[in-house]
Amino acid sequence: MRPLLAAFIVAWPMSLLPAAQAHGPHDGRKHRPPNLEKVDKAFGRTGDPSKVTRTVRISGRDTMRFSPADLTVRQGETIRFVVRNDGKVMHELVLGTLEELQQHAEWMRRFPNMEHEEPYMVHLAPGQSGEVIWQFTVPGEFHFGCLVPGHFEAGMKGRIRVVANPVLGSGRGSRGAFAALHAQRASPLRPPTGGQVGAG
């Protein structure tokens, strides 16, 4: 079955639900703890809370902007992102490569009611805050965005520059080979299954 057709078949029942309720879980909590499921991506991996090197606080607003929107981290750092929705509509923060975020934004534009939940993202109702704990294992330029339909296209995105750590290596050697292997093997955004999209 062609991927797009399969996605439509999965997504169609979800289209009967209100978009704001289907995009992500809403449990009424004021603060959402991090999802610590172990995953490896081209832009890093799930972080260990006991190894957090610093906390970065990010605000999402109805102006379709994040603040701050430009970050610099060092390769190997484990960052605790504390994200707050300071708007009056649903927002989220999703880490990824620019290509993955653009692809995911397109999926959400076509199928706005599909749910997704991964360790590198957090969905927030108005006034809610939440966390993402992520280790940046590979140097380069990565991004984050709000993929609620229309928000990413309106400019709700940011950039993360990961500076190479000479101790870890940036392209060759055992660490460099490990990073390259993950960049090569990292799957694109998972197509929707069971009513969910595994985003990037």
- Which region holds residue 171: left if phi is over 0, alpha if psi is between -120 and 50, else beta? alpha
Q: What is the 3-state secondary structure (H, E, C) of 150-187?
A: CCCCCCCEEEEEEECCCCCCCCCHHHHHHHHHHHHHCC
Nearest of 185, 158, 54 to residue 98 by alpha carbon: 158
- Alpha-carbon separation of residue 121 from 36, 55, 166 (angstroms): 11, 16, 29
User: pTM to 2 decimals?
Assistant: 0.73
89 contact partners, CB below 8 Å, separation of at least 6: 20, 62, 126, 148
* Token code pair at residue 49: 């809370």
Task: Report pLDDT for 24.
Answer: 53
pLDDT score recorded for residue 124: 97
Q: In angstroms, rounded to a whole number, what is the distance separating the alpha carbons of residues 134 and 64?
A: 23
194 vs 129: CA distance, rounded Å: 27
Q: How far from chain centre, in Å, is Cα 165?
A: 23
Instruction: Report which secondary-structure segment, H or E, holds 21.
Output: helix 19-22
Q: By the 8 A CB rule, do 94 and 199 touch?
A: yes
Q: Distance of CA 172 to CAs 47, 102, 139, 176, Å? A: 23, 29, 12, 4
Residue 154: how many other CB atoms lie within 10 Å: 12
Q: Which residues contact 57 (CB under 8 A, 6 or more apart)?
A: 81, 82, 83, 84
pLDDT value for 39:
97
Give me the tens of pLDDT residue by residue for the chain, a chain 200 residues long.
Answer: 444 334 433 333 333 333 333 355 555 679 999 999 999 999 999 999 999 999 999 999 999 999 999 999 999 999 999 999 999 999 999 999 999 999 999 988 888 777 778 999 999 999 999 999 999 999 999 999 999 999 999 999 999 999 999 988 654 333 444 444 344 334 444 444 444 433 33
What is the predicted pLDDT for the residue at 171? 46
Distance CA 66, CA 60 (A): 5
- What was the pLDDT predicted at 195? 42
Residue type, 170: S
3-state helix, strand, coil in the chain (%, to 5): 25, 35, 40
The pLDDT, as a whole number, for residue 31 is 92
How would CATH label the architecture of 28-190?
A: Sandwich (2.60)
